Amino acid sequence: MLSSIQAAAMEMAPVPTQHPQDQRPQEQRRPIAANGPNRQMAKMHALNQLPMIRDLQLRGSSIERRLRCNVLQSPLAGVSDRIFRALVRRWAPDALLFTEMVNATSLELGHGRGKVEELSDEIGPIGVQLFDHRPQAMADAARRAEDSGAFLVDINMGCPVRKIARKGGGSGLIRDPDLACRIVESVASAVGVPVTVKTRLGWCNPPEIDTAHGAAVAWCRQLENAGARLLTVHGRTREQRFSGAADWEAIASVKQALSIPVIANGDINSPDDAVRCLEMTRADGVMVGRGTMGAPWLVGQIDAALSGRAIPSTPGPRERLLLASEQLQALVETRGDHGLLIARKHMSWTCTGFTGASQFRQKLMRAPTPDQALTLLQQQQEQLA
């Protein structure tokens, strides 16, 4: 049974059989354009100097994929579930979205299979992101993901969470390049779809910039040589986690050195950010992460800006409250009363932009049942009408 959010997304998304992604002309390109009629002429001139944004062709061992959208939605643990993806899909029908991170060992033991098996109910390209330190477990998990309909398989080598990195997964693989490459090789040989990697610039911050950039390039070259068909590079080291500014110049060095597509990640929270990032990095696209928490429209806004289309307006307070209600209802439909606990973080991000919003969120977080939370959301919508 599809939720109302999924049904709305299906109505808005293009029918893939009419225009197969993998058969669009290779030479088809889309210029980066200004994001609205009020942009200054100087900015428009700068945009015109950027390289052409084009569809990305990714070759797996036996299956070729084509990305029609150069803006990717990052996997977000505890956030990017099927219901959240359906919301993002409303504004970005062609974007590559991802499941939450899936632990290969847990999948082997029967845990978290719903994250993979639910792909058959969705439309549009969905990648499965895996993490682990065991090559064979990763290969087995990748086969299960492919059988479930994954558009591609992504390997997480960037998660900075200590309990994951300490066991050799996520960003912990940066400290063991040989193991990281064996994992890429194992997964690439196990599936026909393209295998990609999301990683960081390194484990820690070398004292000199040139050294840091050189180390990032060397690390990413190893992943390319191991069989990765696309790299998403977060412009921070594991040591930085999410502090400081993302080093887009380092991503530019990686892009210049590699022959496979490079996607820039880090500090991209608006269409303007995306344009500035591409100006600096010359990357093949951008991945948006934490900026979409409470803003599922952001991927679509950035895609419109880069494609030269009119940018969808940011939903106003009343529209945000309506989205929060829909998301809560969908979560309760699929997760029961536990859906309220999951929805609370989303509602705290989404219910903003009106007088008294902070006090309203506090009251909403204290609602003991889904029905009471929905009543509060409805009452606030009526007050803003």
Enter the pTM of the model.
0.86
Whether 102 and 149 map to the same domain: the answer is yes
pLDDT score at 211:
74
**Residue of 170, 65, 50 whose CA lies nearest to 125:** 65
Angle at alpha carbon of residue 168, lines to 292 and 105, rounded to 5°: 80
Whether 30 and 76 map to the same domain: the answer is yes
Residues 134, 136, 138, 139, Cα dihedral to 10°: 160
Task: Kindly list the catalytic residues.
Answer: 159
Q: Residue 10 domain-assigned? A: yes
Mean pLDDT of 154-182: 92
Alpha-carbon distances of 101 from 88, 104, 234, 281, 293, rounded to whole Å: 18, 9, 16, 26, 16
Domain boundary among 251, 286, 307: 307
CA-CA distance, 258 to 12, in Å (whole number)? Answer: 36
pLDDT score at 207:
53
Burial class (CB in 10 A: 0-12, 13-18, 19+), 369: exposed
DSSP string spanning 312-340? Answer: PPPP-HHHHHHHHHHHHHHHHHHHTTHHH
pLDDT at 189 over 50: yes
Q: Residue 312 domain-assigned? A: no
Angle at alpha carbon of residue 175, lines to 172 and 176, rounded to 5°: 95
CA-CA distance, 301 to 199, in Å (whole number)? Answer: 25
Whether 53 and 198 map to the same domain: the answer is yes
Mean pLDDT of 222-235: 98
Domain boundary among 307, 330, 351: 307
Q: Please count the other Cβ atoms lying within 10 Å of the Cβ belonging to residue 246.
A: 21
pLDDT score at 212:
75
- pLDDT band at 54; cut points 50, 70, 90: confident
Whether 200 and 325 map to the same domain: the answer is no
Q: Give the whole-number percent of the chain exceeding pLDDT 90.
A: 72
pLDDT score at 134:
96
- pLDDT band at 249; cut points 50, 70, 90: very high
Weakest-pLDDT range from 41-50, 250-259, 319-328: 41-50
Domain boundary among 280, 307, 334: 307
Whether 352 and 229 map to the same domain: the answer is no
């030269």: which residue's tokens? Answer: 308
Whether 62 and 151 map to the same domain: the answer is yes
- pLDDT band at 112; cut points 50, 70, 90: confident
Mean pLDDT of 245-261: 96
Mean pLDDT of 19-27: 36
Whether 88 and 167 map to the same domain: the answer is yes
pLDDT score at 111:
84
pLDDT at 117 over 90: no
What CATH number is given to the structural domain containing 300? 3.20.20.70
The domain total for the chain is 2
- pLDDT band at 209; cut points 50, 70, 90: low
Whether 132 and 208 map to the same domain: the answer is yes
Cα torsion 272, 85, 20, 151: sign = positive
**Residue of 151, 84, 160 whose CA lies nearest to 120:** 151
Whether 250 and 376 map to the same domain: the answer is no
Q: Residue 254 domain-assigned? A: yes
User: Which residues, 6 or more positions from 148, have their beta carbon under 8 angstroms from its beta carbon?
Assistant: 116, 117, 119, 120, 128
- Cα 253–chain centre separation: 22
CA-CA distance, 343 to 333, in Å (whole number)? Answer: 12
pLDDT score at 44:
46
Q: Which residue has the higher pLDDT, 287 or 14?
A: 287
Whether 334 and 251 map to the same domain: the answer is no
Q: Residue 331 domain-assigned? A: yes
Q: Which residue has the higher pLDDT, 375 or 38?
A: 375
- pLDDT band at 191; cut points 50, 70, 90: very high
Cβ contact 196:128 at 8 Å: no
pLDDT at 228 over 90: yes
Domain hosting residue 358, numbered range: 317-384
Mean pLDDT of 102-122: 87
pLDDT score at 208:
63
Q: pLDDT tens digit string along 55-77?
A: 999 999 999 999 999 999 999 99
